[in-house]
Amino acid sequence: MAKQNYSIVIIEDDPLVGATILEILSGKYNRVEHFTDPYRAIEELDSISPDLILLDIYLGHANGLDILERLRSEGITIPVIVMTAFTDIKIAVRAMKAGAEEFIVKPIDLDQLEVAVERALHNYDLRRQVKLLKEELQSEKPSEIIGSSDSISKAMNIAKIVAGASDTTALILGESGTGKELMARYIHMNSGRAKGPFITVNCGAIPKDLAENELFGYERGAFTGATEKVKQGRFEQANRGTILLDEVGELSMDMQVKLLRVLQERKFYRLGGTKEVAIDVRIIAATNRDLEKLCEEGRFREDLYYRLNVATIYLPPLRERGTDILLLATSFIKEFNTKFRKNIEGFAPDAADVMQNYVWKGNIRELRNVVERAVLLEQGNVITREQLSFLRMDAQPSQHTFTTKPSITLSPNDLEPGTHQLAISKQGAPLATVVRELVAQTLAIAGGGGDNAAKMLGITPAKLKSVMEEFGMEAPKNGVAASNGKSKETPAKKTAKKK
């Protein structure tokens, strides 16, 4: 059974009791640390970032309740289970008032302890989820990705593969308003990190001199006004979850260096801090800028670009998504019907024609605003062309291109015999190139493991091996699949040659 990804700190001055608890919990949880000295434990809390503390009350020269009250006064909200050999009701009451999650009496029943720990961690996860849901409700953002066009289907295919690899860094490309944050949230919610936090940082909105403070936090005395002992940054808040660095191309060169180190080491220093803070977080970057061009201009670090560009998802502009426009518009009508207490059923034919032919420079964000205005002002049961008369039909689309090569994706069925011509027509590129890129990128995401890559693609390892042989790909070396330049001829190719 795989260990659960939690960190637990035991503060117990009896070495035998502490060692026993350590042995029991280490078999179930990823990191368990035992301290006999409570003050040393407090010093190490920042670097360990525990999800739970098991705290003895009588610690020789220290009192566990004083330590608990100190933790709470410093804003540390992680759950604490208090342990004691005494059954004094006043101690229990004080512990609960101080914010203890549970109260366990010694000698400790190990089965009871395991249940208490599991319950405390579960409740902690629920509290964090409730906080996230409140933030999501307040933002009034849609919670699902709507669309059936080929272009959005391709993006969804690679997003599903990325979601299956919970540590893989992803780069989402697309014009402003195409739904990059929504795609990042989809990856998070369909990954093994779904129970953890999803934190969004708009890199373009952070003042340059506050960026380090925002991302990495600070400690008391780091600057004038830094009065809190510890202020967590966005990376720390995202621990065991996902952080989205939106508009990552706007980061200064100094912050790019610091971000590169976090990507490599998964560690950082708070502003004014002297101890490294370790984190377990998936990083997703998003941008409407051409990072490859920025690298050529010396405004974005190449090493950071290559670190971010492990798996690339390209979100097409709305004007290239065909029938998805009316699907999205209809979903927004339902949303604003509820908000404005209307009963609008859809669009008149001429209004639908306007929606389909408008260039949507602001993409889905602009579409949503247009529908909100139309629903608010419409007095009938359908949105008419008149309500859309404010749209400028002569507007030109944004001239936005990416030299960064977006991921080419196929569904698992496209790898099956007899579907090759369909795959060529969909992609508009030579089949061998398309398949090689998909397989190579999936192998990279899987760390070079053929079995994991096959699972992500929804095919068997034997089928993956066959596909690689057919399209001239060698077995992965150091996580990279190489072409051997020899593509296996299929019977159809041999027949074509004879003709």
Residue boundaries of the structural domains of the chain: 4-129, 145-314, 318-388, 412-498
Integer CA distances (angstroms), 428 to 117, 312, 323, 424, 432, in order: 55, 19, 20, 6, 12
What CA–CA distance (Å, rounded) separates 48 from 9?
8
Mean pLDDT calculated for residue range 155-170: 90
In a 3-state reduction of DSSP, which class is residue 220?
A: coil
The packing angle between helices 150-164 and 450-457, to 10°, is 140
For 199-208, what is the mean pLDDT?
A: 91
The type of residue at 208 is K
CB-CB neighbours of 405 under 10 Å: 12
The first and second tokens of residue 449, run together, are 């493991």
Token code pair at residue 237: 């808040």
Tell me how far apart the alpha carbons of residues 332 and 140 are, in angstroms, rounded to a whole number.
12
In tens, the pLDDT along 451-499 reads 877 877 778 888 888 888 777 777 655 444 554 544 444 444 444 444 4
User: What rounded mean pLDDT belongs to the chain?
Assistant: 82
Instruction: Say if 145-314 and 412-498 have the same CATH topology.
Output: no
CA pseudo-torsion sign 135, 137, 141, 146: positive
The torsion of the CA quartet 321, 324, 325, 330, rounded to 10 degrees, works out to: -170
pLDDT > 90 fraction of the chain, expressed in percent and rounded:
45
3-class state of residue 91 by DSSP: helix
In terms of average pLDDT, the best of 27-36, 94-103, 218-227, 469-478 is: 27-36
Comparing 143 with 327, the larger pLDDT belongs to 327
Rounded CA-CA distance 134/196 in Å is: 15
Which residues have C-beta within 8 Å of that of residue 285, sequence separation ≥ 6?
169, 170, 171, 172, 244, 245, 248, 308
Alpha helices, H only, 30-175 = 38-48, 64-73, 89-97, 110-139, 150-164
Please determine, for residue 85, whether its predicted confidence score (pLDDT) is greater than 70: yes
**422 neighbors 388 (Cβ within 8 angstroms):** no
* Residue keyed to tokens 């579409």: 367
pTM over cut 0.75: no
Q: Picking from 102-116, 185-199, 436-450, which range would have the lowest pLDDT averaged per residue?
A: 436-450
Listed in sequence order, the DSSP H helices in 238-362 are: 253-265, 291-296, 302-308, 324-340, 349-357
d(CA 488, CA 484): 11
pLDDT recorded at residue 423: 33
Alpha carbons 463 and 12: distance in angstroms, whole number: 54
The confidence score (pLDDT) of residue 416 equals 43
Distance, in Å, from the CA atom of 281 to the CA atom of 59, rounded to the nearest integer, reads 34
What superfamily does domain 4-129 belong to in CATH?
Response regulator (3.40.50.2300)
For the domain made up of 412-498, the CATH class stated in words is mainly alpha
- Asked if CATH classification 1.10.8.60 holds for the domain at 318-388, the reply, yes or no, is yes
Residue 359 near residue 396, CB atoms below 8 Å: yes
Q: Strand, helix or coil at 178?
A: coil
Return the CATH number of the domain spanning residue range 145-314: 3.40.50.300
